[in-house]
Amino acid sequence: MAHDIIREGVAAPGFEFESASGEIICLGDLKGKPVVVYFYPKDDTSGCTRQAIEFTELIDGFSSLG
């Protein structure tokens, strides 16, 4: 199955996903709000885990942007 790549600056297609807390989120419900969607495939290496941890350390920076 081919997957379209979402490119920077281009609107993402509408989709639903499950949050880390198990809540189903519809991207369309967030329209007009600042949104960061972080896709985490799985733990194949310690690098994947490290990147995810480093990403969470950026939360304050994202929050300060609104």
The number of folded domains in the chain is: 1
Amino acid at position 65, single letter: L
Question: pTM of whole model > 0.75?
Answer: no
Q: What is the mean pLDDT of residues 43-52?
A: 79
Helix (H) or strand (E) segment spanning residue 30: none
Residue 7 inside a domain? The answer is: no
- Model pLDDT for residues 15-44, shown as the tens digit of each residue: 898 887 999 999 999 888 888 877 777 767
Question: Structural domain of residue 61, as residue ranges?
Answer: 37-66
Residue 59 inside a domain? The answer is: yes
Residue 22 inside a domain? The answer is: no
Residue of higher predicted confidence among 34 and 3: 34
Residue 64 inside a domain? The answer is: yes
Just list the catalytic residues. Answer: 48
Which residue, chain included where needed, has tokens 């790549």?
5
Residue 12 inside a domain? The answer is: no
Distances (CA, A) of 55 to 13, 18, 27, 32, 37: 23, 18, 20, 23, 11
